[in-house]
Amino acid sequence: GFLPLQGHIVRNWKVRWFVLLQDKLLYYKIEGGKKEPSPKGRILLDGCTITCPCLEYENRPLLIKLKTKTNTDYFLECCSREERDSWALDITGAIHAGHPVQVQELHRMKNSFKLLENISLHNIVERMYDSSTGIKLTRNLDQGNRYKETFTGSALVDWLISNSFAVSRFEAVTLASMLMDENFIRPVGVRSTEATRSSDPSEKFLDDSTALYMFAESSKKNTSSKEEVNFNISELSGKIVKQGFLVKQGHKRKNWKVRKFVLRVDPAFLHYYDPTKEENKPVGGFSLRGCLVSALEDNGVPAGVKGNVQGNLFKIITKNDIHYYIQASSKAERVQWIEAIKPLT
38 Cβ contact partners less than 8 Å away, ≥ 6 residues apart: 28
pLDDT tens digit string along 12-56?
899 999 999 988 999 999 887 788 889 999 999 999 999 988 888
Q: Is the pLDDT of residue 66 over 90?
A: yes
Predicted confidence (pLDDT) per residue in 215-226, tens digit:
986 533 343 433
Residue spans in the chain of domains classed CATH 1.10.10.10: 121-220
pLDDT of residue 295: 92
Domain spanning 234-342: which CATH class is it, in words? mainly beta
Question: Tens digit of pLDDT for each residue in 172-208?
Answer: 888 898 888 777 899 998 888 888 877 666 678 898 8
pLDDT at 73 over 50: yes
Q: How far apart are CA 100 and CA 55, in angstroms?
A: 29
* Torsion over CA: 178, 181, 182, 186 (sign): positive
Q: How many CB atoms lie within 10 A of CB 16?
A: 22
- List, in sequence order, every residue forming a beta bridge with 317; answer none if it has no partner: 292, 323
Helices 169-181 and 121-128: crossing angle in degrees, nearest 10, is 100
CATH architecture of 2-110: Roll (2.30)
CATH 2.30.29.30 domain span(s) along the chain: 2-110, 234-342
Which is nearest to 67 in space by CA: 85, 90, 43, 93?
43
The whole-number average pLDDT for the span 314-338 is 93
**Residue percentage of the chain with pLDDT more than 70:** 85
From the list 190, 275, 248, the residue with the least C-alpha distance to 4 is 275
203-262 pLDDT per residue, tens:
788 988 888 999 986 533 343 433 333 336 777 778 889 999 999 998 777 888 999 999
The model's pLDDT over 89-132, given as tens digits with 9 standing for 90+, comes to 899 989 887 665 555 555 555 444 445 555 678 889 889 999 88
CATH architecture of 121-220: Orthogonal Bundle (1.10)
Mean pLDDT score, 335-344: 96
Q: Which pLDDT does position 222 carry in this prediction?
A: 40
Name the more confident of 75 and 254.
75
